[in-house]
A and B are shown apart, each in its own frame.
Chain A
Amino acid sequence: MAQRPTGVKKSEARTSPVRFRHKHLLQIADLNREEAESLLDRAEHFAPLAEQKIKKLDTLRGRTQINLFFENSTRTQSSFELAGKRMGADVVNMSVKSSSVAKGETLIDTATTLNAMRPDLLVVRHGSSGAVELLSQKVDCSVINAGDGKHEHPTQALLDAFTIRDNLGHVEGLTIAICGDVMHSRVARSNVALLTLLGAQVRLIGPPTLMPAGAERWGAKVFHSMKDGLKDADVVMMLRVQRERMAGGFFPSAREFFWFYGLDEDKLKFAKPGAIVMHPGPMNRGVEIDSSVADNPKVSVIETQVRMGVAVRMAVLEALAEHGANTEKA
Chain B
Amino acid sequence: MTRPTLIKNAKLIDPAKNKVEDGAILFDDKIIDVGAITSAPDGAEIIDAQGLHLAPGLIDMRVTIGEPGAEHKETFKSAGRAAAAGGVTTMVMQPNTTPIIDDQSLVDYVLRRGPDRSGGVRVLPAAALTKHLDGELMTEIGLMAEAGAVLFSNGDKPIVSARVLRRALSYATSFGALIAHRPEDPYLAEGGVMHEGELAARLGLPGIPAVAELIMAERDLALAELTGGRLLLDMLSSAQTLPSLKRAKGRGVNAFASVNVHHLVLNEQDVDGYRTFAKLSPPLRSEDDRVALTHAVTDGLIDVIVSGHDPQQAEDKRLPFEEAAFGAVGLETLLAGALTLHHNSDVALNTLIRAMTLKPAELLKLPTGRLSKNAPADIILIDIGAPFKLDSDKLRSKSNNSPFDEKLLQGVVKRTFIAGKTVHGG
A interface with B by C-beta (< 8 Å): 207-209, 224-225, 247, 249-253, 255-256, 259-260
Contact = CB atoms under 8 A, between A and B. Distances in A.
A241 to B, nearest CB: 14
25 contacts: A207-B171, A207-B174, A208-B171, A208-B227, A209-B170, A224-B174, A247-B137, A249-B138, A249-B167, A250-B167, A251-B138, A251-B171, A252-B131, A252-B138, A252-B140, A252-B141, A252-B143, A252-B171, A253-B140, A255-B140, A256-B140, A256-B142, A259-B142, A259-B143, A260-B174
Contacts of B163: 249
Contacts of A255: 140, 143
Nearest to A247: B137
B139 interface: yes
Nearest to A259: B143
Instruction: Please give me the 8 A-B residue pairs with the lowest Cβ-Cβ distance, nearest first.
Output: A224-B174, A252-B140, A256-B140, A208-B170, A209-B171, A209-B167, A256-B143, A209-B170
Contacts of B164: 249
Interface in B157-174: 163-164, 167, 170-171, 173-174
Given A249-B164, A250-B167, A208 B140 contact: no
Contacts of B139: 252
A260 B142 contact: yes
B136 interface: yes
B137 A252 contact: yes
Interface string B50-81: 00000000000000000000000000000000
A208 B230 CA distance: 14
Interface residues on B, range: 10 to 19
* Secondary structure call for the B interface: helix
B168 to A, nearest CB: 9
A255 B139 CA distance: 11
A249 B161 CA distance: 12
A49 B270 CA distance: 88
A263 to B, nearest CB: 16
A249 B136 contact: yes
Contacts of B171: 207-209, 250-252
Interface of B: 131, 136-143, 163-164, 167, 170-171, 173-174, 227
Contacts of B174: 207-208, 224-225, 260
A115 B255 CA distance: 58
Contacts of A225: 174
Given A249-B167, A260-B174, 10 more contacts: A208-B227, A224-B174, A225-B174, A249-B163, A250-B171, A251-B171, A252-B137, A252-B140, A252-B141, A260-B142
A77 to B, nearest CB: 34
Nearest to B161: A249
Nearest to B143: A256
Q: Which of A224, A256, A259 has the most CB of B within 10 A?
A: A256
Q: Which of B131, B137, B163 has the most CB of A within 10 A?
A: B137
Contacts of B136: 249
Contacts of B227: 208
Contacts of A224: 173-174
Q: Which of B131, B137, B139, B142 has the most CB of A within 10 A?
A: B142
A249 to B, nearest CB: 5
A208 B167 CA distance: 8
A207 B138 CA distance: 13
B390 to A, nearest CB: 43
A208 B173 contact: yes
Contacts of A251: 138, 171
A256 B141 CA distance: 9
A252 B139 CA distance: 5
B67 to A, nearest CB: 25
Contacts of A260: 142, 174
Contacts of A249: 136-138, 163-164, 167
Nearest to B173: A208
B32 to A, nearest CB: 36
Contacts of A208: 170-171, 173-174, 227
Nearest to B169: A208
A297 to B, nearest CB: 32
A222 B210 CA distance: 41
Contacts of A209: 167, 170-171
A259 B142 CA distance: 9
A247 B167 CA distance: 13
Contacts of B173: 208, 224
A250 B164 CA distance: 9
B278 to A, nearest CB: 38
Contacts of A250: 167, 171
Contacts of B167: 209, 249-250
A185 B139 CA distance: 24
